[in-house]
Amino acid sequence: MRRRSAAPTSPLPQRQGVDPVHLRLPATGGPWETVREYLGERLPAVAAERVDGLLRAGEVVGEDGRSVGPADPFRPGAHLWFYRELPAEVPVPFELEVLHRDEHLVVVDKPHFLATTPRGRHVVETALSRLRHTLALPALSPAHRLDRLTAGLAMFVVRPQDRGAYQSLFRDRLVRKEYRAVAAYDPAVELPRTVRSHIVKERGVIAAQELDAPPNSESRIGLLERRGGLGHYLLRPSTGRTHQLRLHMSGLGLPILGDPVYPVVLPEPAPDDFRRPLQLLSAAMEFTDPLTGRPHRFESRRTLAAWSDPESW
């Protein structure tokens, strides 16, 4: 098997924690005489005026850091870099607290509404971009995913060569995770219990689905406390399917407060509406460090407003 060679180092630095776009021209050549012709075909979603503007302004560069102009010839296999046009983003007005930092790991306490990694219309206003910029760690990468609407613990890897070791902890279910949630209380739902189901999440579809198939997800759900018609729940997932806890709680007839997707997909709120966060918190993570052998346990310092301060909710 031929091993793919590593991409060369970008001559452009990150901007606000966001990498420049990297393109490699086809090694076999093609019908393009100039770089401009190739980019016009390769980037159909980018307006022609934008492509021309980048080239005229000298904002497309090659491996040597020199600008590439509109009339420069197409060179098979050449590497190009340029900065993407960032979407307009409403700042998420909550702090991202660093709980732990060493030579291998950064563990943060993420607020609600802040995406973990750049995706779609959330690019700069993400935990990864903020951390790369504020900690001056351009190679930082996520060890796992945490939904944008979920608050609490998220883990990042400092060095690219260590990423696989930490990602394997989550893949091999070696991280013991605890979540807290606030939802309605129903005495007819017997707890604690283990919920298993087969979850499928299609790309481009907001809601995941549970199918009649062998289970691929498992959650242990218990009640910590009851207050009137509300319950404070402890959730321990042993798998990490997308929206798993939200689906399992909704399936019990106990949808998590503030959930805009389960059991019914609601109209998306305005980008600057931060009033009703999903009442789900990644509260604790425990594992043995695969590189140092040290035991780690991290705990979130955040609380769920519907439980700690119901009047504000």
The residues annotated with a catalytic role in the active site are 147
Give the N- to C-terminal CA distance of the chain in Å, as an integer. 57
How many C-beta atoms surround the C-beta of residue 310 within 10 A? 13
Distance of alpha carbon 265 from alpha carbon 32, whole angstroms: 46
Give residue 30's Cα distance to chain centre.
36
Give residue 178's Cα distance to chain centre.
19
Distance of alpha carbon 122 from alpha carbon 120, whole angstroms: 6
3-state secondary structure 166-205: HHHHHHCCCCEEEEEEEEECCCCCCCCEEEEEEEECCCCC
- The DSSP output letter for 229 is T
